[in-house]
Structure 1
Amino acid sequence: MLFTGPTMTAEGNLSKAIDEVTQTDLATNYTHMGMVEKEGQQIWVIHAAPEKGVCREPLNQFLESRKVADVYRLNEAHQGYIPEALENAHQLLGLPYDSTYIMGGKAHYCSGLLYTLYEAHQVFELEPMTFKNPATGEFHPGWVKHYEALDLEIPEGLPGCNPNGLAASEHLQWMGQISY
C-alpha cells in the first residue's frame, strides 16, 4: 500500500483538512492512500480520488502530483488476503468518489476503499470519525465549507477511517519511501 501526504492538486484543500484533524501519535500526515498491484513489469495503484473515482493508474502517474509515498506491506499473517482484495478492487473500478465520507454506499473514498477491500478479513477497524480541529475542539473550517456545499450535516462520530488511522494498523509494516 502507498500512503501520501497533502498535495497541490484540486484535492489540496481537503487534504489539508484531513491532515489537520486525523494526525496520530505517529509522525505521519497521510491524506491519501492506494493499493499496489504488479502485473508483469508494470506497477499499478488502485485508489479512489475526487476527480477519478475508483481507478487504476500506473505508479508514475499516481506519484506525479504527490511526488513521494510511503510504502507499507501487510504483515505475513495477512498477505494471503491480497489476491482476493485485488479481485474485489477490480470489480469496484469506475465507481464514483465518496465526497460524503460516509461508509456503506456505492461510492468510495481512499481509505474507505482499502477498508472495504479487506473488510471480510477484519484487517482494519472503523473508528468514530472526527472533523474537529484537535487544538480548538471546533469543526475545521474546511470541513464546514465542504459539508455546507453538499447540504449535509457533518457526520461527526459516525464509523469511518482515514489514511493516518489505517497506517497505524498493527497489521501493516513500513517498508520505505519512494519518490517520483
Structure 2
Amino acid sequence: MADDFDEDAVDDWSMRTWGQAPMEITHWSSVDGVHEVLLKYSNMVVILRLKASEDNVLETERQVAIRVEEWNPGSVQANRLSDGTIKLRFRRQNMTLSAMMKTPHALSSLLEEWLMSMRGSTEKNRDHTKRVQAVKRNRDAVSRMLEQASIEKLVEAQDQINEKITHAEDTLAGNRSA
C-alpha cells in the first residue's frame, strides 16, 4: 500500500503498548506518515491510527480495543460517512478510518471473523478444561466407591471371622455341640 508502512515498527509499538506482538497485522491505509492498522491478538483486536514522531517512533493517535470477552456477535458496526470515510463503532468507542475502496461491511466482517475465531478457541479450551475436570471428578468418585467397597468387604470378612471365633470358643467351652 504505502512505502513508509513498516510492520516491524508496528510490532515494536505493540510490544511497548500491549506487551505482546500481534498475531496478525492488516494495513488499512497510510497517508502522510499516519498509518491505520488492524491488529489481531490472542484475546482482542485493536483498530488504531499511528503517527510517526520526528524520531521515527510510532505513537498512538487514536485506537479502539475490542476484547473478546466484551464482544457479542454483531456489536462491531461500520458505516460509510458522507465524506467517504468509515466510522467504526464498538459500544462507546468509535473511530473514523480513511476512505478506502473496501466496504464498511468488509471491515466489520474481518473484525467479527477474528473475534469469532478467538471465541471459538477459548470455548474449545473451556470445553477441554470442563471435560478434564469432569474426568477428574469421575475418577475421584470411583476412587471413593472403591474405598467404600473395600471397607465393606473387609467389615463383612471381619464379621464372618468374629462369628467363626465365637463359634470355636463356644465349641471349646462345651456350650455348643460340634
Q: Same fold (TM over 0.5)?
A: no
| Greater RCO, CA 8 A, separation 6+ | 1
Which entry has the higher C-alpha Rg, 1 or 2?
A: 2
